[in-house]
Amino acid sequence: MSRSAFKSGRTGRGAAFASDHSGSCHAHTMRLTAYALLPLGVLSIWFIVGAVGKSFDGVRADIGRPLPATVLIAFISVAVYHMRIGVESIIDDYVHDEGLKAISLAVNKWLSLAIGAVWALSLIIVAASR
């Protein structure tokens, strides 16, 4: 395998496989959101499984309490943000046309916001009392 020389931002001229020791902000954020999704996912599954077999009014009463509503909305927010950053990394890595990349990133951002908003709004509508 040949090693081509490149100019590193931190170390100057070096081997192509050298590290700048500057981790990706996306990778760090993905790791943090993944850690946050573990307890939020477990609690969300617990609340959802607890709602199985209940009437609509019973589920509405359960989701209307502060803890389940907060956990479910936090899960929605973190999951959609995690999804957005993951798809953004894929677009950055595999879409090489700059125009298509800009359009793809914009669609990813707005579609993620729309998915999160619809999901959170539907939860709020179910939880809201009449």
pLDDT digit string (tens) for 64-101?
899 999 999 999 999 999 999 999 989 988 989 999 99
Residue 81 lies in a domain: yes
Question: How many percent of the chain have pLDDT more than 90?
Answer: 62
Cα 25 to the center of its chain, rounded Å: 14
Locate 124 and state its tokens. Answer: 């709020």
Residue 83 lies in a domain: yes
Q: What DSSP state is assigned to residue 52?
A: T
How many Cβ atoms are within 10 Å of 106's Cβ, its own excluded?
10
Average pLDDT along the chain: 85
Residue 102 lies in a domain: yes
> Higher model confidence: residue 5 or residue 56?
56
Residue 86 lies in a domain: yes
Residue 56 lies in a domain: yes
User: How far is Cα 8 from Cα 15, in angstroms, rounded to an integer?
Assistant: 9
Report the pLDDT value the prediction gives residue 9, as an integer from 0 to 100.
Answer: 53
Q: What is the mean pLDDT of residues 27-42?
A: 94
Report the pLDDT value the prediction gives residue 19, as an integer from 0 to 100.
Answer: 53
Residue 114 lies in a domain: yes
User: How far is Cα 41 from Cα 72, in angstroms, rounded to an integer?
Assistant: 9
Residue 29 lies in a domain: yes
Report the pLDDT value the prediction gives residue 21, as an integer from 0 to 100.
Answer: 53
Report the pLDDT value the prediction gives residue 127, as an integer from 0 to 100.
Answer: 86
pTM attached to this predicted model: 0.78
Residue 13 lies in a domain: no
Q: Domain span at residue 107?
A: 24-127
User: How far is Cα 37 from Cα 78, in angstroms, rounded to an integer?
Assistant: 7
Report the pLDDT value the prediction gives residue 92, as an integer from 0 to 100.
Answer: 87
Q: Output the domain CATH number for residue 81.
A: 1.20.1300
User: How far is Cα 18 from Cα 28, in angstroms, rounded to an integer?
Assistant: 20
User: How far is Cα 60 from Cα 1, in angstroms, rounded to an integer?
Assistant: 62
Domain count, the chain: 1
User: How far is Cα 107 from Cα 100, in angstroms, rounded to an integer?
Assistant: 10
